[in-house]
Structure 1
Amino acid sequence: MPPAPATNPGYTPPDGGWGWVVVFGAFVSIGFSYAFPKALTIYFKEIQEYFSVSYSDIAWVSSIMLAAMYAGGPVSSILVNHYGSRPVVMAGGIMCGVAMVTASFGNTITHLYICVGVVGGFGLSFNLQPSLTIIGKYFLVKRPVANGLAMAGSPVVLFTLAPLNQFLFDNFGWRGSFFILGALLLNCCVAGALMRPIGRNPCPKVQANGASDLPRSNNGSVPQSVDRGYGQKPGTETRRVRNIDKFIDFSLFRHQGFLIYLVGNVLMFFGFFAPIVFLAPYAKHQGVDEYSAAFLLSILAVVDMIARPSTGLLANTKWIRPRIQYLFSFAVTYNGICNLLCPLATGYGGLVVYSLFVGVAFGMVCALLFECLMDLVGSQRFSSAVGFVTIIECCPVLLGPPVGGVLVDIFGSYMYMHLMCGGAMFASGLFLFVMNFWNYRLADRMARRQEGAAEQGEMKQLSAAEPEGIGGTSPDCAPCSESTANAAVL
């Protein structure tokens, strides 16, 4: 099952300039997408009492919102491929705003499921997917740093929304708060307006002496997402890219690295969101006052916002980037260990320590989540890949928090919820470690074979050109052999 080759983007990503403005827009859009479902948990206890529902019933609000955000991935990917990121993000901002305003008039929990969960979740999907995709259009060498900065929007927005939601609830109640939050979400339209389409400059060409003006990473090597596209006929490649971008690239399911990533993430997401969703209710369950419980989310968010760009910088180093999948595997395993040990945290001090450690773990996973996917499939196929990933992951995202709520209802304790989530993430991390080790070994073996075959082919060409056995290498052959070897690495 050979991996699918990455495609040549056909232009040189600027790795800066207006790209940093785009990163800011993605910072805002991604921030609302990921932080908003978690920030709404501040209202859960009061809404639960208002509608007289159980823990598991109220957990469905955030769960449906997250699941709809993930389920909308393929639709969002198709729209991005056809219309670009800017109009899709702006449409998503309008959907989210309307969803929260209409939810403020709800009289049943089902009304919240539909407005906040379904409509709001799809709106967040239209914010998330295009923001992730356009970063890969503007950045290549500095892409891990750009992704880390953009993903830092989630903890920054969460840090702001956690105390703001408590203030809004105290002064306006949950209905008035939802109305104000709907207006606040319209800022995603402004963020989308910043995501102007990139001007496609001509693709760099290999020079006659074998040198290249391709963008290079810190260690001087051409990143895999570019060099794997060379050595192919421009006309054929352009037609294939257009056919792929027209809808969605189903050949990704023959990509072994993509399949490993997908299986590991499905298992991980069973336990990824529930501990965060129930952090404030867990603290209130232990007798912590409301503002102190909300402050735990702020602590987690502060650590998270530091961890994400720091992880991006670490991932961009010449030692980590060639094996970035290992760092992601470690982050998932570390997150699982934190949740397994959470029941040992007693009192408010213990919860603060837990928030500090899980903030680092959560930030590392989020900073690497989509960067690792882009590292596997390349920027041109990323839109299709993220659409497939999110639609498949919506099932564990949907079931995780409600199953945790059911465990809380049955046992009257949050311990079993944390054990379930920690166990799922720990198992996912071990799976990713083992399978990525195998995948890297297989890729290295294939690369050595392709290099050997390229060297043998070059020697045959030299023998034919120099029948008398005169030594030396023709400069004209160097780019060709280099491109052939690079195009077959993965």
Structure 2
Amino acid sequence: MPPSAPTNLDYTPPDGGWGWAVVFGSFISIGFSYAFPKSLTIYYKEIQEYFSATYSEIAWVSSIMLAAMYAGGPVSSVLVNRYGSRPVVMIGGVMVGAGMVASSFGTTIMHLYICVGIIGGFGLSFNLQPALTIIGKYFQVKRPMANGLAMAGSPVFLSTLAPLNQFLFDSFGWRGSFLILGGFVMNCCVAGALMRPIEVKPRASPATSANGAPGDKEQSPGARSPANKRGCAGRVNQFIDLSLFKHRGYLIYLVGNVVLFFGFFAPVVFLAPYAKHMQVDEYSAALLLSIFALVDMFARPITGLVANTRWVRPRIQYFFSFSVAYNGLCHVLCPLASGYGGLVVYAVFFGVAFGMLCALLFEVLMDLVGAQRFSSAVGLATIIECAPVLLGPPISGALVDLFHDYKYMYYACGVMMLVPGIFLFIMNYFNYKWLAQEAQQSQQQEDEEEAGAMEELRSSAENKPEETLG
């Protein structure tokens, strides 16, 4: 099994120290980024009645927000590469807060699409990507554990925001709640303040190539050769690394993710509405999200610890493939759950599956491309993934509108995750095999070149006495 990609940095990450404060800041930033769109589902039923909207129309609110969060990835990558994580996260916090405050004065569903979806979503993209990137700057050996702890921010915040949103709605209505949430999300600015730029201590030797691209020396965008900077593509490449589209492992990751994201968010978005459809009271429906989030909260750091072990880390792509397929299996079996007790069981198993996938989602990407290329890799991935993120929940909502039943939606989401899980497992097997063969060929070539050089030196040494005698 070939090793994971090195960090490709010009210094040795500290793996601790202020890095743990950075992890805490990322915990807050990631928590808001992923939990905020899901927690707003508490207001769906009431907003739907207020605007006389369908399930599909109301699902567009979170869908647009998540899609904008993903679509803003390349812009966020460029800003992070140029200015660092701290200012980008702080600007993102201000954008989300402003979008929520503006949405509290909305008079149409379109107003929510723009303020919550587009403005808020782009603000979340400025929170998510920098928080993921800076962890790779501070950690190398303990990176899976640090990523797992930071990603745990999502379930922690979701378990808090779900009941809080129900309380805010009962006390202030959805307009007052959105106004309060706008101020609450400004805490992302505090999280950004913790993301201090790392003090670089240069290494003695240059960094080596990334996994999946043997022998290809990594450079930062500002350090590329003039030949690479010529032309439009070269200028773009100074800000975001387009050569990743030649990276085999990265392309496998993208194909699997594009399919799985069609069924990734919808089961969470519709969990509370599904419970209400089954005549479960509002607080019990909100409690399902809290149970899901509580299990998810523990699953993510535990997954990070498991992924950091010497048995799993070299095979982490398989671990990720299993987590995707496990999510799909949970959704396929969900319609078999009967009553509130059955939904609780589903929420527990789904929480484990979702936590595993989220803890590994970006760690396996960094494992493939290395920390130096990660900012560009995640930016390009999110812009491609924004289409299924945008379309997934509305398509699922349309299935509910069509059949007046949630089970077909859960079947569809299950299949959309089972298929890429199997695909990723098979393709990662072949990718690992091909990487091993390429590494072996590269080693043989180096041995042959070294043997040729030694033979040349030996011949030169043998001929030298004859030249001296002559």
The residue correspondences of 1:400-415 to structure 2 (distance < 5 A) are 400-415=392-407
**1:447 pairs with 439, 444, 453, which one?**
439
Structure 2: 5+ residue stretches without partners: 230-235, 463-470
Measure, in 2, the Cα distance between the counterparts of 1:60 and 1:236: 36
Q: Answer yes or no: is 1:196 the counterpart of 2:196.
A: yes
Residues 23-422 of structure 1 correspond to what in structure 2 (within 5 A)?
A: 23-205=23-205, 225=210, 238-240=223-225, 246-422=238-414
Rounded to whole Å, the distance in 1 between the matches of 2:355 and 2:7 is 30
CA shift for structure 1 position 225: 4.8
TM-score normalized with structure 1 length = 0.88
Question: What per-residue deviation string (whole Å, max 9, x for no partner) do you get for residues 138-183 of structure 1?
Answer: 1111111111111000000001101100111111111110011000
2:451 maps to 1:459: yes
TM-fit CA distance, 1:247: 1.1
Classify the secondary structure of the residue corresponding to 2:362.
helix
Q: 1:262 to 1:232 in 2, by over 3 A?
A: closer
Point out where structure 1 has 5 or more consecutive residues left out of the alignment: 207-213, 215-222, 471-490
Distance 2:34 2:133 in 1: 16
What is the deviation of 1:235?
11
Q: Is the 8 A contact 1:6 1:381 kept in 2?
A: no
Contact 1:258 1:376 in 2 (8 A): yes
For residues 434 and 226 of structure 1, the distance between their equivalents in structure 2, rounded to whole angstroms, comes to 18
Q: Determine what percentage of the aligned residue pairs are the same residue.
A: 67
Q: Secondary structure of the equivalent of 1:381?
A: helix
2:328/2:414 contact within 8 Å kept: yes
CA distance in 1, matches of 2:214, 2:222: 9
Q: Give the secondary structure class of the aligned counterpart of 1:380.
A: helix
Pairwise CA distance, 1:462: 3.2
What SS does structure 2 have at the residue aligned with 1:342? helix
SS in 2 for 1:432: helix
2-structure distance, mates of 1:333, 1:345: 19
Whichever residue aligns with residue 50 of structure 1, its letter is: Y
CA distance in 2, matches of 1:138, 1:225: 18
For 1:335 and 1:438, the matched residues in 2 are separated by 23
- Assess, with a 3 A threshold, how the Cα gap between structure 1 residues 290 and 227 changes in structure 2: closer, same or farther: closer
More deviation in 318-327 or 258-267? 318-327
3-state SS, counterpart of residue 372 of structure 2: coil
Normalised by the length of structure 2, the TM-score is 0.91
Partner SS, residue 132 of structure 2 = helix
After superposition, the Cα gap between the structure-2 partners of 1:133 and 1:350, relative to the gap in structure 1 and judged at 3 Å, is: same
How far apart are residue 464 of structure 1 and its match? Answer: 3.7
Post-superposition offset of 1:463 = 3.4
Residues 81, 246 of structure 1: 8 Å contact kept = no
Name the CA shift for 1:226/1:194 in 2 (closer, same or farther; >3 Å). farther
CA contact (8 A) 2:213 2:247 kept: no
Q: Is the 8 A contact 1:282 1:414 kept in 2?
A: yes
Write the distance in 1 (CA, Å) between the matches of 2:328 and 2:52. Answer: 33
Q: Secondary structure at the residue paired with 1:294? A: helix
Partner residue of 2:17?
Answer: 17
Structure 2 distance, partners of 1:234, 1:444, is 24
Q: Distance in 1 between matches of 2:278 and 2:220?
A: 65
How far off its partner does 1:239 sit?
Answer: 3.5
What amino acid does structure 1 have at the position aligned with 2:124? L
Give, in whole Å, the separation in 1 of the partners of 2:108 and 2:310: 54
1:45-96 superposed Cα distances (whole Å, 9 cap, x missing partner) = 0111111111111100000000000000111111111111000000000000
- Please tell me whether the aligned partners of residues 72 and 122 of structure 1 are also in contact (alpha carbons under 8 angstroms): yes
| Aligned residue number for residue 232 of structure 2 | none
Q: How many residues align?
A: 451
Tell me the distance in 1 between the aligned counterparts of 2:458 and 2:297.
Answer: 61
Report the RMSD for the aligned CA atoms in angstroms. 2.5
